[in-house]
Amino acid sequence: MPEMTFSVRWPDGRVEPCYSPSLVVHDHLEVGRSYPVEEFVRRSSDALAVASDRVRARYGFACSASAASRERIETAASAFAPDATVEVVAMHPPLSGGPA
């Protein structure tokens, strides 16, 4: 199962890498796009839940690293107003022909 990382810039300027056990994050977030904190948390949580479900379907257990990413995102997001913005600055590996 392909793994990926995606990096986000929080409203305070800090860039944080996040891990997903699946490329499904590409279906929920877009590199170069900014999202209100509340929307970013929803989209990334949805993506990481799908990724964890894929691990469960394949290996018989949920992905603890995916759950840890969700928890770190939720914790970081709690420090900002819901309408502050989070920018997705990178995804690796990128989709074929898409931005990094």
Q: What is the pLDDT of residues 21-45, one digit of tens each?
A: 889 999 999 999 999 999 999 999 9
DSSP H helical ranges for 3-87: 37-59, 64-77
| Residues 4, 69: Cα–Cα separation, whole Å | 12
Average pLDDT on 52-70 reads 86
What is the pLDDT at residue 82?
Answer: 87
| Residues 33, 71: Cα–Cα separation, whole Å | 22
Q: How far is CA 36 from the centre of its chain?
A: 14
Strand partners, 91: 6
Cβ 8 vs Cβ 15: under 8 Å: yes
What are the C-alpha distances in Å from 39 to residues 51, 53, 59, 82? Answer: 18, 21, 30, 8
Express each pLDDT in 4-20 by its tens digit: 999 999 999 999 999 99
The model's pTM: 0.88
100 band by pLDDT with thresholds 50, 70 and 90 = very low
